[in-house]
């Protein structure tokens, strides 16, 4: 008989569980008030289902844990570094590796090496730490993502694509010499985990070659992007995730990587480039900020877990279940008519707070408010991706981003399908009483990356 339906399911079983504390509504009310209505300031002990981030929150496999025991904690030349180097070269195709403690460590070094005062760095939507390092190095980020990416309703399958006309305009205005590289993210985080297509990347490569401009790849979620290419881009449904990842990287000149996402580790990252000169300088600089070039702020055991995690992250079975779980949650939310960013992205569900709470003006932080209300309902911790995250411009004015979102990021291999059900049911509960929800005001604002530590009060 023909198999009509086959659910996504995990290619693993559970060997150990982590017990969670269940809280009452009065406990959550108190915890939230003490956290200044910022979910980043909650104690994780007070959280039931933690969707704050998919960063460093994945469950490692038995093999990765076994690898942790194989850590070679030599100061220089650890065997785990050479293992990691080999895996990065073979899996991702970049030539030279510099390990760093996490992604932003790599961004710092790369920005300092490539960006000069007054430079322009075009990219497919900003990312918080990436843009900040570009700015601290004297550069300015310019958004060249297609307009569809800024529209939560638009169902274009590759909302991570670059608009070449926007790039061309920047080159005409500033000159190619002022553009040290184009910053290209796969699975664009701030757009809702939206992929870039290989067709678009190919075109971008041809265009940048003409102008002699590098492409630096923010590779944090490249495997998830590869999955969407495999599922949706013409000509790729017979290709493996491994092959697609390699092809993506072949159109770029280097990468920064937060291994805390795709690569299934709790800490770690790296910089990898194809140019010897850039590598030379990075190898000199990493000693100042991270540690020796053969450990970059990581223990040998962390590098071993990363090397093994990278291998697991590009397996077709792994990625199908990983993204399958996210899509399951997204469909469930849509069944409840909750407004989410479409198409469903690779690492989480992004709820459109402007649509959810249309009576709250953006200046009163609708997404921040919604994240607080969601925690109150069932102890699910989400985070704001809107006006608070966007921060202020150099002249002190607030950025007013088009997208005002609450991010439900799904850690890899951590939660079950029943957890997904609870998340959707709780969100639906809040949606029912949405008209009664009031906005907030900010009562403490840190200077950098304010979303991490800002405090709020209810209006």
Residues that bind ligand PLP (CB under 6 A): 55, 102-104, 127, 129-130, 185, 189, 218, 220, 258, 260-261, 269
128: annotated active-site residue? yes
For the CB of residue 260, give the shortest distance to ligand PLP in the complex, in Å.
Answer: 5
Q: Which residue is closest to ligand PLP by CB? A: 103
Distances (CA, A) of 179 to 169, 207, 336: 12, 13, 46
The residues facing 145 across adjacent strands are 162
SS3 content of the chain, % helix, strand, coil (to 5): 45, 15, 40
Determine contact, residues 332/421, Cβ cutoff 8 Å: yes
Of the residues 46, 50, 218, 262, which is catalytic? 218
The stretches of 234-335 forming alpha helices (DSSP H) are: 241-250, 276-289, 300-313, 316-335
Phi, psi at 227, each rounded to 5°: -60, -45
Nearer to ligand PLP, 123 or 339 (CB): 123
218: annotated active-site residue? yes
Determine contact, residues 221/186, Cβ cutoff 8 Å: yes
Nearer to ligand PLP, 141 or 456 (CB): 141
Nearer to ligand PLP, 100 or 427 (CB): 100
186: annotated active-site residue? no
For the CB of residue 201, give the shortest distance to ligand PLP in the complex, in Å.
Answer: 16
For the CB of residue 308, give the shortest distance to ligand PLP in the complex, in Å.
Answer: 18
Alpha-carbon distance of 355 to 403, in angstroms, equals 10
Nearer to ligand PLP, 127 or 365 (CB): 127
Determine contact, residues 81/295, Cβ cutoff 8 Å: yes
For the CB of residue 160, give the shortest distance to ligand PLP in the complex, in Å.
Answer: 11
Four-point Cα dihedral 174, 126, 167, 251, nearest 10: 120
75: annotated active-site residue? yes
Four-point Cα dihedral 134, 302, 383, 415, nearest 10: 150
Of the residues 23, 128, 208, 220, which is catalytic? 128
385: annotated active-site residue? yes
Nearer to ligand PLP, 23 or 194 (CB): 194
Nearer to ligand PLP, 38 or 55 (CB): 55
413: annotated active-site residue? no
172: annotated active-site residue? no
For the CB of residue 56, give the shortest distance to ligand PLP in the complex, in Å.
Answer: 7
* Sole residue written with tokens 């059900």: 421
Of the residues 94, 127, 141, 408, which is catalytic? 127
Interhelix angle for 103-114 vs 276-289, to 10°? 120
For the CB of residue 393, give the shortest distance to ligand PLP in the complex, in Å.
Answer: 20
Distances (CA, A) of 415 to 17, 184, 275, 349, 411: 11, 30, 41, 15, 7
Residues with active-site annotation = 75, 127-128, 218, 261, 385, 451
């Amino acid at each position: 008989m023909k198999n009509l339906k086959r659910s996504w399911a995990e290619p693993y079983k559970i060997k150990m569980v982590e017990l969670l504390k269940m809280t009452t509504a009065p406990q959550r009310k108190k915890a939230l008030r003490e956290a200044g209505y910022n979910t980043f300031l909650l104690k994780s002990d007070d959280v039931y289902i933690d969707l704050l981030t998919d960063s460093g929150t994945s469950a490692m496999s038995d093999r990765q844990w076994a690898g942790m025991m194989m850590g070679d904690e030599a100061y220089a030349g650890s065997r785990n570094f050479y293992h990691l180097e080999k895996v990065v070269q073979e899996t991702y195709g970049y030539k030279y590796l510099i390990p760093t403690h996490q992604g932003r460590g790599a961004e710092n070094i790369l920005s300092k090496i490539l960006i000069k005062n007054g430079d322009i760095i075009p990219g497919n939507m900003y990312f918080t730490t990436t843009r900040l390092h570009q700015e601290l190095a004297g550069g300015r980020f310019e958004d060249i993502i297609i307009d569809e990416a800024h529209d939560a309703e638009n169902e274009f399958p590759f909302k991570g694509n670059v608009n070449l006309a926007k790039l061309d305009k920047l080159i005409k205005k500033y000159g190619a010499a002022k553009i040290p590289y184009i910053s290209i993210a796969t699975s664009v985080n701030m757009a809702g985990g939206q992929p870039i297509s290989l067709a678009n990347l190919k075109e971008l490569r041809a265009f940048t070659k003409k102008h002699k401009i590098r492409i630096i790849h923010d590779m944090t979620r490249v495997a998830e992007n590869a999955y969407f290419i495999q599922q949706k881009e013409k000509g790729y449904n017979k290709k493996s995730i491994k092959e697609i990842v390699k092809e993506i990287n072949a159109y770029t000149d280097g990468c920064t990587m937060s291994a805390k996402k795709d690569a299934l580790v709790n800490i770690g990252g790296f910089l990898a480039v194809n140019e010897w000169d850039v590598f030379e300088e990075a190898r000199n600089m990493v000693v100042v900020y991270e540690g020796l070039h053969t450990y970059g702020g990581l223990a040998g055991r962390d590098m071993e877990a990363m090397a093994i995690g990278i291998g697991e992250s590009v397996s077709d079975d792994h990625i199908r279940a990983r993204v399958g779980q996210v899509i399951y949650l997204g469909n469930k939310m849509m069944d409840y008519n909750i407004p989410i960013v479409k198409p469903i992205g690779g690492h989480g569900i992004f709820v459109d707070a402007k649509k959810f709470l249309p009576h709250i003006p953006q200046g009163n932080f609708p997404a921040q408010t919604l994240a607080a209300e969601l925690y109150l309902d069932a102890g699910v911790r989400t985070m704001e991706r809107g006006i608070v995250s966007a921060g202020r411009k150099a002249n002190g004015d607030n950025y007013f981003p088009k997208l005002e979102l609450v991010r439900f990021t799904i850690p890899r291999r951590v939660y079950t399908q029943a957890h997904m059900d609870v998340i959707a049911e709780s969100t639906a509960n809040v949606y029912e009483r949405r008209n009664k929800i009031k906005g907030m005001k900010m009562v403490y604002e840190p200077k950098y990356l304010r979303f991490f530590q800002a405090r709020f009060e209810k209006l």
